[in-house]
Amino acid sequence: MAAKYGLMLHQMDVKTAFLNGSLNEDIYMDQPDGYLDTTQPDYVCKLKRSLYGLKQSPRMWNQTIDGFMIKMGFKKCESDHCIYIKRDDQDMILVVLYVDDLILASSNNELLKSTKIALSKRFEMTDLGELDYFLGMEIKNDRKTGMVTVQQTKFLKSVLTKFGMDNSKPVKTPQDPGLKLTKNMCEQECKHEDTMCNVPYRSAVGGIMYLMVATRPDLAAAVGSLSQFSSDPCPTHWQALKRVLRYLQATPNHGLEFTREEGSRICGYTDADWAGDIESRRSTSCCIVDRSGETEESRAENTCPIVGRFESD
């Protein structure tokens, strides 16, 4: 949206967001240390507002800010309830809510300012200015060229450093095309338990999985394969995972680019292998939809084996 319509991107943060939520239930707590009433030490306190740690606090905060956004004239997106939009003649502003972080995308500077003022009057806010870093993603918005780039270079380097791969030898592909990972490898490498007990396999999978979800769809096939062995990895699986890290070492600046395009072009691609899983003989299908430069991917393994290539396709 920002690339297509040339929107300004700004960011705000809500201080102690969960304390703004009201409570529908009666909840009591012990008197906090340093505030004990010595005349009535056995008394308890009744909460008037939600606190961090209560299971209902996130929901009550969301209800509070949701009601305020609706009161300001915003409409909630039907497909994503954390996105709000408001139109003023030919101008518009969108607010994206992620817990206590807000992204504001606006076509008009005055509309952006008035929204910031209204939010700051209702909640204690921090205005972080133009959006450049959000949830580990580095964002650049070039309104002149209509290009928005999203990268995770800093987070990527922190992952490499965490797992001791910051000085590793780069490779050009995330997977070895001649290697097919299986669970049977653990049985063949029967002595792997002692060597793998201190290997942070699941943590490393989680790190590259966040990269894949946010900005690196080129890691999807590798992550999908490696995550199958998180409960019982063997040295071969770990070496395959380190190859992905070496690939990241070679491509630290890869990311997503959203460009301005006229019209609304929708293009879809789909494909499937046949009995690609050599253990279950299940097939994997994939669908990619491109809409004006915005790409969505869906990948799944079929629940039962498919008997023919034609059926798989």
What range does the domain containing 272 cover?
264-312
| Position 136 in a domain | no
The whole-angstrom separation of Cα 92 and Cα 75 is 11
pLDDT at 187 > cutoff 70 = no
Q: CB neighbours of 23 closer than 8 A, spacing ≥ 6?
A: 47, 48, 49, 50, 56, 60
For residue 81, the domain's CATH number is 3.30.310
The pTM score is: 0.82
**Residues 123, 187: one domain?**
no
Q: What is the pLDDT of residues 77-121, one digit of tens each?
A: 999 999 999 998 889 999 999 999 999 999 999 999 999 999 999
**Residues 219, 302: one domain?**
no
**Residues 168, 110: one domain?**
no
**Residues 238, 280: one domain?**
no
pLDDT at 139 > cutoff 60 = yes
| Position 143 in a domain | no
pLDDT at 313 > cutoff 60 = no
The whole-angstrom separation of Cα 79 and Cα 85 is 12
Helix orientation angle between 153-162 and 235-250, rounded to the nearest 10 degrees: 140
| Position 117 in a domain | yes
**Residues 107, 178: one domain?**
no
Q: CB neighbours of 186 closer than 8 A, spacing ≥ 6?
A: 192, 229, 232, 233, 234
**Residues 125, 184: one domain?**
no
Q: In residues, how long is the chain?
A: 313
Q: Domain tally for the chain?
A: 3
